[in-house]
């Protein structure tokens, strides 16, 4: 069973209605590591699904977030970006082209003294700067 099939099983189990448009959105998310925005997804699929509205993309993403199947990233201040990879990982955002890259590395970070009374469940390291392509320009 490949990743997509596994995900489809999960969606079915959660009682998600899988329309062809929703499937295409899921497939698109599954096959990109660029952390697309809702606009990116819509633009990539609108030729294949001329009747699909931007709201369909947006609503599908909302459902996926609600079910905990997609993470919403607030790294990009101009728009929300989406990440189907739920395991703990970190990111690099290019200030020029806006691409977000995954950083798969464990950072040993000590919980700061100020947070001693808190229950910390997650943290994220965000690097920013220029990606190799933009650096060359």
Residue numbers at the binding site for Zn ion (CB under 5 A) = 83, 94, 96-97, 102, 131, 134
If the CB atoms of residues 21 and 103 are measured against Zn ion, the closer one turns out to be 103
Rounded Cα–Cα distance for residues 33 and 6 (Å): 18
If the CB atoms of residues 40 and 83 are measured against Zn ion, the closer one turns out to be 83
Rounded Cα–Cα distance for residues 49 and 53 (Å): 9
Per the structure block, which two tokens stand in for 38? 């809702």
If the CB atoms of residues 21 and 124 are measured against Zn ion, the closer one turns out to be 124
If the CB atoms of residues 17 and 87 are measured against Zn ion, the closer one turns out to be 87
- Could you tell me the smallest distance in angstroms from the CB atom of residue 8 to Zn ion? 21
Per the structure block, which two tokens stand in for 43? 């633009």
CB 91 within 8 A of CB 103: yes
Residue 105 burial by Cβ neighbours in a 10 Å radius (0-12, 13-18, 19+): exposed
If the CB atoms of residues 30 and 102 are measured against Zn ion, the closer one turns out to be 102
- Could you tell me the smallest distance in angstroms from the CB atom of residue 99 to Zn ion? 5
Rounded Cα–Cα distance for residues 31 and 44 (Å): 12
Rounded Cα–Cα distance for residues 81 and 122 (Å): 18
């Amino acid at each position: 069973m490949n990743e997509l099939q596994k995900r489809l099983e999960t969606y079915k189990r959660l009682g998600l209605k899988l329309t062809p448009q929703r499937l295409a959105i899921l497939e698109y998310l599954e096959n990109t590591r660029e952390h697309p925005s809702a606009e990116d997804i819509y633009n990539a699929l609108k030729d294949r699904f001329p009747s699909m509205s931007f709201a369909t993309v947006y609503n599908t993403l909302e459902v996926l977030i609600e079910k905990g199947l997609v993470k919403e990233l607030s790294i990009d201040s101009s728009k929300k970006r989406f990440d189907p990879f739920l395991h703990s990982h970190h990111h690099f955002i290019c200030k020029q082209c806006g691409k977000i890259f995954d950083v798969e590395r464990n950072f040993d970070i000590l919980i700061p003294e100020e947070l001693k009374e808190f229950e910390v469940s997650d943290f994220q390291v965000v690097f920013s700067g220029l990606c190799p392509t933009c650096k060359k320009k």
